Amino acid sequence: MSLLQDKRIAALACFDSFGKTAMNLLEVSRRDGAETTLHLLELPGRKLSRRQVLEIRRIAPRNPIRQHLWRQLGTLLGELATLDALVLGLDGRRTRETQLLLQAAWADQPRRPLLVSAYPGILFRHQLEGMMDRSGVDLLCLNAELDAHLFERGCRALGLDPGNALVTGLPILWPLRPRQQTPDQGAIVFFEQPSVPDNPLQRRYLCRRLADLARAWPEHPVIFKPRTSSIEATLHRHHGEMARRVEKISRRVPNLRVSHKPSLALLQRCACAITVSSTAAMEAMALGVSTRIVADLGVNETLGNHYFLDSGALRDFDAILRDPFSPCHDEGWLHGHGYCPEGAQRFVAALAARLESPRVPGDANRQGPAGWGSTAWQKYALARGGRRMLSSAGAHSRQKPSHRGLDLLRRIRRALVGLWGMERLLKGR
């Protein structure tokens, strides 16, 4: 029996990682009988490339994709109000802003769509903050039990009910099963991240060690997979310099190269996957690929590789050079940290059960959920700065223009002082 037969479900997403996650949620809903649509919202100056959109579409080719500008979200509110469920595939700040916008727009409606949120990757930074950003949705899909425990502790501290959270595992891992065979002369692939590591010297070191790896295993292609091309946008800041450096080194090392093929396509022909802390490591482990988490730079929250502490996959490059091909990750750890093969069924069952309950729109003048702060604080923030001030980055975004003005004044002052000092020096001569 189809639990979601004739239900209308849509998703809002910005950035390619959120688009892929939203598409996985929509695909399992569509297979269970729902009518689904993905709305890709283009942020100012951060348009998704054609390649990024194609990668999202490849997950579910039969699912319609509609593209809009972020500022056009208001024109969609009437259409979205008629849905049975709406997936918010947005970062934390925009999830907050959108929830407040929807609450105000739907206040006079007899019913509203069920709100759903999920994560596009592992939670290794600002975990509780991100979960509280999304705490106002009706169904919060979490990656692992440790995330659920942290969310429950946060809710308990505020006197809230954590019952909207459900452990479903990472949606991008739902379709993955171990490969049947390992390819001969398979590639060794390093998966880059947008902002990890942040230190340029560390990035140069990694490029140098990849060259060492290529020289040590000349019969195997050693591939550097950039997170995006230099012209594509990501949620986090992107350097792009590692790809350029690897391309330069590859002129001297013939089996070292850069590839922009989709991660899953590379993993299917991969003999070893290497990264600092990318979600690609979880995909590799789910496929049964030998996986290595770089330990040369230490283990800490900034790098994010602390998430993999008990995985068995942490190795320094000297150890990787000796043996990159023997699987060493712990399957039990993998199943407890994001790989949940039955996650899709859990999600569909939970979604169908929640759709049976009536959803009354909130008051247009009401603040967000208590996970965002006290009622007094939210009233104060809304009165003085609007919806953006209730986001976790609201104060920064509000003050940025004044910071720019002060920076300009400082630069002018430094220039004038510099010219004055040069004038005195010339006159002294």
What pLDDT does residue 16 have? Answer: 87
pLDDT digits (tens, 9 = 90+) for 166-176: 999 999 999 99
Q: What confidence score (pLDDT) does residue 196 get?
A: 87
Q: What is the CA radius of gyration of the chain?
A: 24
Q: Region 319-346: what's the mean pLDDT?
A: 95
> What is the mean predicted confidence (pLDDT) over 140-150?
94
b/e 97-126 (16+ beta carbons within 10 angstroms → b) = bbbbebbbbbeeeeebbbbbbbbbbbbbbe
pLDDT of residue 271: 95
Q: What is the pLDDT of residue 405?
A: 58
Domains and CATH numbers, the chain: 8-174+341-371 (3.40.50.2000), 187-336 (3.40.50.2000)
Reply yes or no on whether the pLDDT at 403 is more than 90: no
Mean pLDDT (the chain, rounded): 87
Q: Region 207-231: what's the mean pLDDT?
A: 89
List of residues 6+ apart from 377 with CB closer than 8 A? none
pTM of the model: 0.85
Least confidently predicted of 77-91, 266-280, 314-328, 361-375: 361-375
Phi, psi of 118 (to 5 degrees): -150, 165
Position 110 scores a pLDDT of 83
pLDDT surpassing 90 at residue 375 = no
Question: How far is residue 136's CA from residue 98's CA, in Å, rounded to a whole number?
Answer: 11
Mean pLDDT of 66-95: 92
